[in-house]
């Protein structure tokens, strides 16, 4: 034990004598006195702890699966609904889904009364073909397009291009809000 302590003291003396001074010495002294307090940019191989205070309070840390690489091509799961004929979607089919319209069909969104509070029905509706499709709403619900509520019974039509898309958000008090997606401009279909 005495031999190790002697070696440590000799190493520290040599390091100090060969120019370990100024900010380097301050950093080393800080490391010895307060190992968990750092100033300036520090680089570590790993940080181990149960919390990390980034200045906004302590955040709990949890292990994560970090196996995804930049060269990987991950597949993200989503709820898809295929539309192969004109039909009315259910509440579940209009709740955070991707609706693929596979032809010149009319997709009618679920009744806004089927949603409770802010559990909202958000659906991204897009064309898988170049056929124009329409989006309609249930009975007296309205479509709010570009900030303007359309008249009762009006629907919107796609431009008739493959991948034409509209994001339907809502429902709100008046009905569904239509937001263009993919550069598509949906027109009032009457």
Sign (positive or negative) of CA dihedral 170, 176, 177, 182:
positive
pLDDT (0 to 100) of residue 168: 85
How far CA 119 is from CA of 8, 75, 96, 170, 178, in Å, comes to 64, 26, 10, 9, 18
The secondary structure of the chain as a DSSP string is: -HHHHHHHHHHHHHHHHTT--HHHHHHHHHHHH-TT---S----S----SEEE-SSSEEE---------TT--------EEEE-SSEEPPTGGGSSEEEEE-SS-EEEPPPGGGS-TT----EEEEESSSS--EEE-STT-EEEETTEEPPTT--EE--S-TT-EEEEE---SSEEEEEEETT---EE--
Give the tens place of pLDDT for each residue, 43-83: 767 767 777 777 777 777 776 666 777 787 766 666 889 99
What are the structural domain ranges in the chain? 80-188
**For residue 25, what are the contacts with CB-CB under 8 A and spacing of at least 6?**
16
pLDDT (0 to 100) of residue 24: 61
Q: Measured between alpha carbons, how far is 190 from 185 in angstroms, rounded to an integer?
A: 15
The model's pTM is: 0.55
Positions in the chain whose pLDDT score sits under 50: 35
**For residue 1, what are the contacts with CB-CB under 8 A and spacing of at least 6?**
none
pLDDT (0 to 100) of residue 117: 53
Q: Measured between alpha carbons, how far is 109 from 15 in angstroms, rounded to an integer?
A: 74
How far CA 167 is from CA of 24, 25, 69, 183, in Å, comes to 56, 59, 31, 11
Task: State the first-to-last Cα distance of the chain, in angstroms, to the nearest integer.
Answer: 91
3-state secondary structure 11-46: HHHHHHHCCCCHHHHHHHHHHHHCCCCCCCCCCCCC
């Amino acid at each position: 034990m005495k031999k190790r302590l002697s070696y440590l003291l000799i190493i520290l003396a040599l390091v100090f004598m060969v120019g370990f001074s100024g900010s380097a010495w301050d950093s080393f002294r800080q490391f010895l006195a307060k190992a968990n307090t750092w100033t300036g940019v520090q680089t570590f191989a790993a940080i181990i702890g149960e919390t990390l205070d980034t200045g906004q309070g302590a955040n709990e840390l949890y292990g994560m699966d970090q196996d995804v690489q930049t060269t990987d091509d991950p597949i993200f799961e989503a709820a898809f609904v295929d539309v192969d004929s004109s039909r009315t979607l259910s509440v579940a089919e209009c709740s955070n889904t991707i609706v693929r319209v596979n032809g010149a069909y009319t997709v009618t969104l679920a009744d806004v009364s089927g949603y409770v509070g802010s559990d909202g029905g958000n659906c991204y509706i897009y064309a898988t073909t170049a056929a124009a499709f329409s989006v309609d709403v249930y009975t007296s619900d309205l479509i709010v397009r570009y900030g303007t509520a359309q008249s009762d019974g009006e629907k919107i039509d796609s431009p008739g291009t493959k991948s034409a898309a509209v994001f339907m958000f809502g429902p709100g008090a008046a009905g569904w809000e239509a937001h263009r997606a993919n550069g598509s401009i949906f027109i009032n279909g009457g």
